[in-house]
Structure 1
């Protein structure tokens, strides 16, 4: 037996199942059942999508939760959003809180709008925020952030000088953008957190990559892609734009529109790690437990787990991935809840139970945490040994 270990539990949310904080608590509870002598630190994470506000709120002392006045949701129905004011005067918000897919009763792939996000940003600035961090992810929209710019005071006009309607497909009618009433960004800047390298248009663009996930047919994807190209061309006449910049396609291109407003596109997992103090704790950890609902080939392209595994490579800590499902083997020890529960349905029915089991398994079969190869091999063998439901 080795002495007490310093264990860092830093998972993402299991989307549609458990928030990152609940995932971390279940994993930590299982670990402590087996090794109560260890120091276990819970640091739930996010990669810029849903859960960014929750992750920062849990980890930043003095973070003050705020609630917005009602703003239009992705289909126009009023919604309220929760955001944070940090002690240094900066604000943190999730775009999904006002234009996320769960806010729709049915998909609205061509008509969903980010107008409410722009109006929320106005409220945040009016509250005195000196800088803003916007988590982009989980959106129902593909309007290039045009609605957000409208909410911030821009006017989107057709050839007759009338305002165009909301939604991405309406951008095909765009002729001119009046930015004379556009609210300026805060003096401390705007950070746009993404978990994708998608650009605005084309085969790797917002409509092509994410449109089908939002209910768009192939015909609608083509319409949206052409409309976004039109928006980029017109916006370029009044504001600096970079439609081909990696990450500009995040949140249906919302990153593109807000970057034209003055925002900086940044990797979400890295920035949330800075805000929550993760980067300062990694060098001192013996074991790092992370996870997400499904680990697959996209996990290494900017998402939380892939980014954290890359960062762990520079430190002695032994990393471990716990995922609901594992479609692609990660470059670290891994436990799949589907293996422990015996099926996908069983894992989904009671994820907290199987996360707790996974935490206990990881602690029991960790091997020598000072030897990464031994630790990883032990956990993998343990996951196979306990794969049957119990």
Structure 2
């Protein structure tokens, strides 16, 4: 029996790699002869670099850049050596973990370090980039990043502006002529499943601002400031970007990247294609995936759904294992053979997170006890799929 184990992380609890290893261990307890391929996955959020590097045997490149509060921080980006692609995970530069909860205030944070990372990678000779936009704590529309690659922003007196969000309202002139020319010969792909535009009630500020520390009384002003900023850039470039789905990702970094030629892609699909996940599915009898919480958003293209749809095309049955599963998700039965929450009784979120390893292990071990009987019937030897009754 060949089983592909390809989960997302259980956010706030375990990494995708850790989840995969626990699932594999539980299966091996019941089916020692099973051939298990643990391939951690991600959709563009935190952990994406680790998933990509695990699958492609890439490496991390260390560097020092400007952190979100202006001081220097040590961080890294990834390198997929076979394709010579640099992978920049925004959370490693301006993520929630970069500053303590009590100090979170996107009005103070700069994305300059991401621009510095781009310059570092260009100098190293890389001309292919994947940007992973999940987990940012910023809301500056990519203002700092653009300054870091040579865009000039001046106030009405002709003074160059520093890369902090409080200067967005002072922008009078925008000039892209100083952008590092190597940028225009670079392939930039954005891995993100966020569909929000930059501004408006469904934009970056209103939807994601509150969880980043934006006060409700500041939302309207911040949103208007981002709109004015975007209008000036779009007037200068003669092209519209702010309403493109995904422009609001990572506090507007999606918008800034779009202005330098980036292409927005489904994070889960981009990562799946980058690690050749489809070939692994074809070589499996069963696929097991998972996530921290399954809800209505799963049906809108989250990672487990993308994996299950891919497996369904090749008639490979898929099992979903989650920290919790929202009720009334009947459409999920169209792609998953079965779905399982790891909780074994009423638990608080804190209790579930604290006991994830134990809960997951025992849930998967019970699933494996059923799977081994399909193997006894020959499924694991000839890949005949037993379709459940509808």
Q: Same fold (TM over 0.5)?
A: yes
8 A contact 1:131–1:189 mirrored in 2: yes
Residue 92 of structure 2 corresponds to residue 97 of structure 1: yes
CA distance in 1, matches of 2:240, 2:72: 30
Residues 94-151 of structure 1: per-residue CA shift (max 9 Å, x gap): 0111011110122113222211111111111111112111111100011111111111
2:75 aligns with: 81
CA distance in 2, matches of 1:285, 1:188: 36
2:303 aligns with: 304
Say how many residue pairs are matched: 369
Compared with structure 1, are the counterparts of its residues 304 and 293 closer, same or farther at alpha carbon in structure 2 (3 Å cutoff)?
same
8 A contact 1:197–1:302 mirrored in 2: no
Compared with structure 1, are the counterparts of its residues 172 and 306 closer, same or farther at alpha carbon in structure 2 (3 Å cutoff)?
farther
Residue 71 of structure 2 corresponds to residue 66 of structure 1: no
In the alignment, structure 2 segments of 5+ residues that lack a partner are 380-384
Deviation at 1:340, TM superposition (A): 6.1
Correspondent of 1:214 among 200, 212, 215: 212
Residue 177 of structure 2 corresponds to residue 180 of structure 1: yes
CA distance in 2, matches of 1:186, 1:360: 51
Residues 238-276 of structure 1: per-residue CA shift (max 9 Å, x gap): 334411111111111101101101111111110100111
CA distance in 2, matches of 1:238, 1:229: 14
Residues 53-108 of structure 1: per-residue CA shift (max 9 Å, x gap): 101110113x232111x212222232222222223322112011101111012211
1:387 aligns with: none
2:382 aligns with: none
Residue 4 of structure 2 corresponds to residue 8 of structure 1: yes
1:21 aligns with: 17
Deviation at 1:26, TM superposition (A): 0.7
Correspondent of 2:196 among 174, 193, 198: 198
8 A contact 2:147–2:163 mirrored in 1: no
CA distance in 2, matches of 1:372, 1:362: 17
Correspondent of 2:344 among 339, 343, 350: 339
8 A contact 2:106–2:140 mirrored in 1: no
Compared with structure 1, are the counterparts of its residues 193 and 14 closer, same or farther at alpha carbon in structure 2 (3 Å cutoff)?
same
Give the 5 Å matches for 1:366-377. Answer: 366=371, 368=374, 370-373=385-388
CA distance in 1, matches of 2:216, 2:166: 14
Q: CA RMSD in A?
A: 2.0
CA distance in 2, matches of 1:186, 1:35: 52
CA distance in 2, matches of 1:237, 1:292: 42
CA distance in 1, matches of 2:127, 2:29: 44
8 A contact 1:338–1:344 mirrored in 2: no
Give the 5 Å matches for 1:275-354. Answer: 275-328=274-327, 329=329, 330-331=332-333, 332=336, 333-339=338-344, 342-354=347-359
Q: Please state whether the residue corresponding to 2:313 is helix, strand or coil.
A: coil
8 A contact 1:168–1:224 mirrored in 2: no
8 A contact 1:299–1:306 mirrored in 2: yes
2:167 aligns with: 170
Compared with structure 1, are the counterparts of its residues 341 and 80 closer, same or farther at alpha carbon in structure 2 (3 Å cutoff)?
farther
1:133 aligns with: 130
Deviation at 1:342, TM superposition (A): 4.7
TM (norm. structure 2) is: 0.89
Residues 343-379 of structure 1: per-residue CA shift (max 9 Å, x gap): 53332113222222222122123464622426xx9xx
Residues 309-360 of structure 1: per-residue CA shift (max 9 Å, x gap): 3323322121111111222444432221223685533321132222222221
